[in-house]
Amino acid sequence: MNQSEVAGDQRTGVEVTKDKNGVEQVVLRSPRGASARVSLHGGQILSWKTDRGEELLFTSSKAIFKPPTAVRGGIPICFPQFGNRGSLEQHGFARNKIWVIDDNPPPLHPNDSDGKSYIDLLLKPSQEDLKVWPHSFEFRLRVSLAADGHLTMISRIRNVNCKPFSFSFAYHTYFSVSDISEVRVEGLETLDYLDNLCHRERFTEQGDALTFESEVARVYLNSSDIVAVFDHEIKRTFVIRKEGLPDVVVWNPWDKTSKAMADFGDEEYRQMLCVDGAVIEKPISLKPGEEWTGRLELSVMPTI
Protein backbone atom coordinates (compact mmCIF):
# COMPACT_ATOMS: atom_id res chain seq x y z
CA MET A 1 0.00 0.00 0.00
CA ASN A 2 1.45 3.41 -0.83
CA GLN A 3 0.45 6.92 0.06
CA SER A 4 -1.68 7.30 -3.09
CA GLU A 5 -3.86 4.48 -1.85
CA VAL A 6 -3.92 5.85 1.70
CA ALA A 7 -4.77 9.46 1.05
CA GLY A 8 -6.05 9.39 -2.51
CA ASP A 9 -3.44 11.89 -3.67
CA GLN A 10 -0.19 11.81 -5.57
CA ARG A 11 2.34 12.46 -2.82
CA THR A 12 5.62 10.68 -3.26
CA GLY A 13 8.16 9.57 -0.69
CA VAL A 14 5.60 7.96 1.60
CA GLU A 15 5.27 4.21 1.97
CA VAL A 16 3.20 2.17 4.43
CA THR A 17 4.53 -1.22 5.54
CA LYS A 18 3.88 -3.61 8.42
CA ASP A 19 6.35 -4.78 11.04
CA LYS A 20 6.57 -8.39 12.21
CA ASN A 21 3.91 -7.79 14.87
CA GLY A 22 1.50 -6.60 12.16
CA VAL A 23 1.76 -2.93 13.21
CA GLU A 24 1.70 -0.45 10.33
CA GLN A 25 4.70 1.79 9.88
CA VAL A 26 5.06 4.76 7.57
CA VAL A 27 8.38 5.42 5.87
CA LEU A 28 9.03 9.00 4.74
CA ARG A 29 11.82 9.64 2.23
CA SER A 30 13.25 12.95 1.08
CA PRO A 31 14.35 13.38 -2.55
CA ARG A 32 17.97 13.61 -1.32
CA GLY A 33 17.78 10.28 0.51
CA ALA A 34 17.06 11.18 4.16
CA SER A 35 14.35 9.04 5.75
CA ALA A 36 12.12 8.69 8.79
CA ARG A 37 10.02 5.80 10.05
CA VAL A 38 6.85 6.35 12.06
CA SER A 39 4.93 3.58 13.78
CA LEU A 40 1.19 3.60 14.26
CA HIS A 41 2.03 2.09 17.63
CA GLY A 42 2.19 5.26 19.71
CA GLY A 43 2.48 7.59 16.73
CA GLN A 44 6.13 7.14 17.55
CA ILE A 45 9.06 8.09 15.34
CA LEU A 46 11.30 5.01 15.33
CA SER A 47 14.05 6.16 13.02
CA TRP A 48 15.43 9.32 11.45
CA LYS A 49 18.33 8.93 9.03
CA THR A 50 20.52 11.35 7.11
CA ASP A 51 20.98 11.14 3.35
CA ARG A 52 24.11 9.08 4.09
CA GLY A 53 22.03 6.56 6.03
CA GLU A 54 23.31 7.52 9.51
CA GLU A 55 20.74 6.89 12.24
CA LEU A 56 20.17 10.00 14.36
CA LEU A 57 17.83 8.53 16.98
CA PHE A 58 18.76 5.99 19.61
CA THR A 59 16.77 2.77 20.00
CA SER A 60 17.78 0.22 22.59
CA SER A 61 18.95 -3.19 21.41
CA LYS A 62 16.54 -4.50 24.06
CA ALA A 63 13.52 -2.44 22.95
CA ILE A 64 10.21 -4.31 22.86
CA PHE A 65 8.14 -3.59 19.77
CA LYS A 66 5.01 -5.44 20.75
CA PRO A 67 2.03 -3.19 21.65
CA PRO A 68 1.00 -2.09 24.20
CA THR A 69 4.56 -1.85 25.60
CA ALA A 70 6.19 1.53 24.91
CA VAL A 71 9.25 1.32 22.65
CA ARG A 72 12.55 2.25 24.34
CA GLY A 73 13.94 4.79 21.90
CA GLY A 74 12.97 6.99 18.97
CA ILE A 75 10.47 9.71 19.89
CA PRO A 76 7.64 8.47 22.11
CA ILE A 77 4.77 10.92 22.60
CA CYS A 78 3.97 11.56 26.26
CA PHE A 79 0.29 12.53 26.59
CA PRO A 80 -1.89 13.37 28.51
CA GLN A 81 0.55 13.06 31.41
CA PHE A 82 4.29 13.45 31.74
CA GLY A 83 6.08 10.96 34.00
CA ASN A 84 4.14 10.03 37.11
CA ARG A 85 2.70 13.52 37.70
CA GLY A 86 -0.88 12.30 37.85
CA SER A 87 -2.98 9.18 38.25
CA LEU A 88 -2.37 7.73 34.77
CA GLU A 89 0.28 5.26 33.69
CA GLN A 90 3.83 6.65 33.35
CA HIS A 91 3.99 9.25 30.51
CA GLY A 92 0.27 8.78 29.70
CA PHE A 93 -1.40 6.29 27.39
CA ALA A 94 -0.83 7.83 23.93
CA ARG A 95 2.53 6.10 23.38
CA ASN A 96 0.98 2.68 23.92
CA LYS A 97 -2.03 3.06 21.64
CA ILE A 98 -2.49 2.19 18.00
CA TRP A 99 -3.04 5.41 16.06
CA VAL A 100 -4.68 5.60 12.61
CA ILE A 101 -3.67 7.37 9.44
CA ASP A 102 -5.72 10.53 9.07
CA ASP A 103 -6.71 10.82 5.41
CA ASN A 104 -8.45 14.13 5.71
CA PRO A 105 -6.88 16.31 8.42
CA PRO A 106 -7.86 19.96 8.87
CA PRO A 107 -5.42 21.97 6.74
CA LEU A 108 -2.08 23.23 7.99
CA HIS A 109 -0.07 26.11 6.51
CA PRO A 110 1.20 25.24 2.97
CA ASN A 111 4.80 25.56 4.30
CA ASP A 112 4.08 22.48 6.38
CA SER A 113 3.35 20.43 3.25
CA ASP A 114 5.07 21.93 0.20
CA GLY A 115 8.20 20.05 -0.82
CA LYS A 116 7.91 17.66 2.14
CA SER A 117 7.12 14.00 2.60
CA TYR A 118 4.55 13.78 5.34
CA ILE A 119 1.93 11.71 7.07
CA ASP A 120 -0.96 12.65 9.35
CA LEU A 121 -1.92 10.40 12.24
CA LEU A 122 -4.91 10.55 14.55
CA LEU A 123 -5.60 9.29 18.05
CA LYS A 124 -9.04 9.38 19.66
CA PRO A 125 -9.77 7.90 23.08
CA SER A 126 -11.14 4.38 23.29
CA GLN A 127 -13.87 3.43 25.79
CA GLU A 128 -11.08 2.02 27.95
CA ASP A 129 -9.14 5.34 27.82
CA LEU A 130 -12.28 7.27 28.77
CA LYS A 131 -12.59 5.20 31.92
CA VAL A 132 -9.17 6.37 33.16
CA TRP A 133 -9.22 9.86 31.58
CA PRO A 134 -12.84 10.91 30.90
CA HIS A 135 -12.15 13.55 28.25
CA SER A 136 -12.97 13.36 24.55
CA PHE A 137 -10.11 14.63 22.43
CA GLU A 138 -8.73 14.42 18.92
CA PHE A 139 -4.95 14.30 18.74
CA ARG A 140 -3.62 14.94 15.24
CA LEU A 141 0.06 14.42 14.56
CA ARG A 142 1.73 15.58 11.36
CA VAL A 143 5.23 14.14 10.82
CA SER A 144 7.12 15.62 7.90
CA LEU A 145 10.54 15.25 6.39
CA ALA A 146 11.89 18.17 4.35
CA ALA A 147 14.18 17.81 1.31
CA ASP A 148 17.15 18.81 3.50
CA GLY A 149 16.31 16.07 6.02
CA HIS A 150 14.76 18.30 8.72
CA LEU A 151 12.17 16.38 10.71
CA THR A 152 9.09 18.23 11.95
CA MET A 153 6.32 17.07 14.25
CA ILE A 154 3.17 19.11 14.69
CA SER A 155 0.72 17.98 17.38
CA ARG A 156 -2.77 19.42 17.41
CA ILE A 157 -4.92 18.44 20.38
CA ARG A 158 -8.58 19.44 20.33
CA ASN A 159 -11.16 19.29 23.09
CA VAL A 160 -14.26 17.72 21.51
CA ASN A 161 -15.97 17.37 24.87
CA CYS A 162 -18.46 19.62 26.64
CA LYS A 163 -16.18 20.27 29.63
CA PRO A 164 -12.62 21.61 29.95
CA PHE A 165 -9.58 19.40 30.42
CA SER A 166 -5.88 19.89 30.97
CA PHE A 167 -2.85 17.81 30.01
CA SER A 168 0.91 17.74 29.88
CA PHE A 169 2.92 16.65 26.89
CA ALA A 170 6.44 15.80 25.67
CA TYR A 171 8.20 14.67 22.50
CA HIS A 172 10.49 12.27 24.40
CA THR A 173 13.38 12.46 21.93
CA TYR A 174 16.18 9.88 22.28
CA PHE A 175 19.13 11.37 20.38
CA SER A 176 21.87 9.00 19.32
CA VAL A 177 25.25 10.26 20.55
CA SER A 178 28.78 8.92 20.12
CA ASP A 179 29.66 9.07 23.83
CA ILE A 180 27.66 10.89 26.50
CA SER A 181 30.85 12.27 28.06
CA GLU A 182 31.52 14.15 24.79
CA VAL A 183 28.10 15.83 24.69
CA ARG A 184 27.17 19.40 25.58
CA VAL A 185 23.71 20.98 25.60
CA GLU A 186 23.35 24.71 25.04
CA GLY A 187 20.29 26.88 25.49
CA LEU A 188 19.38 25.91 29.07
CA GLU A 189 22.00 27.98 30.94
CA THR A 190 20.65 30.06 33.84
CA LEU A 191 17.19 28.46 33.66
CA ASP A 192 15.28 27.07 36.61
CA TYR A 193 14.71 23.33 36.54
CA LEU A 194 12.79 20.73 38.51
CA ASP A 195 15.01 17.83 39.47
CA ASN A 196 13.22 14.49 39.27
CA LEU A 197 16.08 12.92 41.23
CA CYS A 198 15.40 15.30 44.18
CA HIS A 199 11.60 15.07 44.52
CA ARG A 200 11.15 17.70 41.77
CA GLU A 201 12.89 20.35 43.85
CA ARG A 202 13.53 23.59 41.96
CA PHE A 203 17.13 24.60 41.22
CA THR A 204 18.74 27.18 38.95
CA GLU A 205 21.23 26.10 36.30
CA GLN A 206 24.53 27.91 36.51
CA GLY A 207 26.03 29.77 33.56
CA ASP A 208 27.76 26.91 31.77
CA ALA A 209 26.45 24.63 29.06
CA LEU A 210 25.29 21.24 30.32
CA THR A 211 27.69 18.30 30.31
CA PHE A 212 27.15 14.81 31.71
CA GLU A 213 28.92 12.72 34.31
CA SER A 214 26.04 11.13 36.24
CA GLU A 215 22.30 10.44 36.04
CA VAL A 216 20.19 13.43 34.97
CA ALA A 217 16.37 13.71 35.01
CA ARG A 218 15.38 17.36 34.86
CA VAL A 219 12.61 19.55 33.55
CA TYR A 220 14.01 22.95 32.50
CA LEU A 221 11.38 25.66 32.64
CA ASN A 222 10.53 28.36 30.12
CA SER A 223 13.41 27.78 27.75
CA SER A 224 14.01 29.74 24.56
CA ASP A 225 12.73 28.08 21.40
CA ILE A 226 16.15 26.85 20.27
CA VAL A 227 18.27 24.29 22.09
CA ALA A 228 21.39 22.63 20.66
CA VAL A 229 23.01 19.29 21.44
CA PHE A 230 26.71 19.20 20.48
CA ASP A 231 28.45 15.86 19.97
CA HIS A 232 32.14 16.77 20.02
CA GLU A 233 33.53 13.37 19.17
CA ILE A 234 31.86 13.21 15.77
CA LYS A 235 31.46 16.99 15.36
CA ARG A 236 27.71 16.78 14.97
CA THR A 237 25.12 19.22 16.28
CA PHE A 238 21.41 18.62 16.70
CA VAL A 239 19.32 21.77 16.63
CA ILE A 240 15.92 21.63 18.31
CA ARG A 241 13.44 24.36 17.38
CA LYS A 242 10.18 24.34 19.24
CA GLU A 243 6.93 26.28 19.45
CA GLY A 244 4.25 25.99 22.12
CA LEU A 245 6.62 23.85 24.21
CA PRO A 246 8.08 25.98 27.01
CA ASP A 247 9.81 23.20 28.96
CA VAL A 248 12.74 20.94 28.09
CA VAL A 249 13.31 17.54 29.66
CA VAL A 250 16.88 16.28 29.85
CA TRP A 251 17.30 12.63 30.77
CA ASN A 252 20.14 10.13 30.90
CA PRO A 253 19.75 7.13 33.25
CA TRP A 254 23.52 6.53 33.67
CA ASP A 255 24.81 3.16 34.90
CA LYS A 256 22.73 2.26 37.96
CA THR A 257 19.29 3.12 36.60
CA SER A 258 20.19 1.53 33.24
CA LYS A 259 20.74 -1.79 34.98
CA ALA A 260 17.27 -1.59 36.51
CA MET A 261 15.55 -1.20 33.12
CA ALA A 262 14.66 -4.50 31.45
CA ASP A 263 14.43 -2.99 27.95
CA PHE A 264 17.73 -1.09 28.06
CA GLY A 265 21.31 -2.38 27.84
CA ASP A 266 23.58 -1.82 30.85
CA GLU A 267 26.02 0.33 28.88
CA GLU A 268 23.62 1.92 26.41
CA TYR A 269 23.32 5.12 28.46
CA ARG A 270 26.61 6.13 26.83
CA GLN A 271 25.00 6.27 23.39
CA MET A 272 21.85 8.27 24.11
CA LEU A 273 20.53 11.51 25.50
CA CYS A 274 16.87 12.48 25.78
CA VAL A 275 16.17 16.16 25.19
CA ASP A 276 12.43 16.75 24.90
CA GLY A 277 10.36 19.75 23.90
CA ALA A 278 7.57 19.60 26.48
CA VAL A 279 4.77 21.27 28.44
CA ILE A 280 4.96 20.08 32.03
CA GLU A 281 5.10 22.68 34.77
CA LYS A 282 1.98 24.54 33.63
CA PRO A 283 -0.33 22.03 31.93
CA ILE A 284 -2.36 23.16 28.94
CA SER A 285 -6.06 23.76 29.63
CA LEU A 286 -8.52 23.49 26.78
CA LYS A 287 -12.13 24.62 26.91
CA PRO A 288 -14.69 22.77 24.77
CA GLY A 289 -13.86 23.30 21.08
CA GLU A 290 -10.36 24.73 21.75
CA GLU A 291 -7.21 23.36 20.15
CA TRP A 292 -3.54 23.47 21.19
CA THR A 293 -0.57 23.14 18.86
CA GLY A 294 2.95 22.06 19.81
CA ARG A 295 5.61 21.97 17.14
CA LEU A 296 9.11 20.51 17.16
CA GLU A 297 11.65 20.73 14.34
CA LEU A 298 14.88 18.73 14.46
CA SER A 299 17.86 19.30 12.22
CA VAL A 300 21.42 18.11 12.25
CA MET A 301 24.58 19.79 11.02
CA PRO A 302 28.33 19.45 11.26
CA THR A 303 29.78 21.32 14.27
CA ILE A 304 31.94 24.18 13.04
Ligand X SMILES: O=P(O)(O)OC[C@H]1O[C@@H](O)[C@H](O)[C@@H](O)[C@@H]1O
Extract the annotated binding site for substrate. 72, 90, 95
Of 70 and 157, the one with the shorter C-beta distance to ligand X is 70
Tally Cβ neighbours within 10 Å of residue 111: 10
The minimum distance between CB 194 and ligand X, in angstroms, equals 10
Q: What CA–CA distance (Å, rounded) separates 87 from 261?
A: 22
The one-letter amino acid code at 66 reads K
- Output the smallest distance, CB 70 to ligand X, in A: 6
Task: Select 227 or 286, whichever has its Cβ closest to ligand X.
Answer: 227
What are the binding residues? 72, 90, 95
The 10 Å CB-count burial string (b at 16+, else e) for 65-79 is bebeebbbbbbbbbb
Q: In the complex, which residues of this chain contact ligand X (CB under 6 A)? A: 70, 83, 90-91, 196, 217, 249, 251
Nearer to ligand X, 49 or 91 (CB): 91
Closest separation in Å from C-beta 241 to ligand X: 20
Rounded Cα–Cα distance for residues 96 and 42 (Å) = 5
Closest separation between CB of residue 249 and ligand X, Å?
A: 5
- Cβ-closest residue to ligand X? 217
Class of residue 8 by CB neighbours under 10 A (exposed 0-12, middle 13-18, buried 19+) = exposed
Measured from the CB atom, the residue of 14 and 217 that comes closer to ligand X is 217
- Whichever of 177 and 249 has its CB closer to ligand X, that residue is 249
Residue 155 or 159 with smaller CB distance to ligand X: 155
Q: CA dist 123 to 32, 80, 126, 179, 250, Å?
A: 31, 12, 9, 36, 26
Alpha-carbon span 50 to 22, nearest angstrom? 27
- Distance of closest approach, residue 257 Cβ to ligand X, in angstroms: 7
The nearest distance, CB 189 to ligand X, in angstroms, is 20
Q: How far apart are CA 283 and CA 157, in angstroms?
A: 13
What b/e sequence results for 80-97 when a residue is b if at least 16 CB atoms lie within 10 Å of its CB, and e otherwise? bbbbebeebeebbbbbbb
Please say whether the beta carbons of 27 and 108 come within 8 A: no
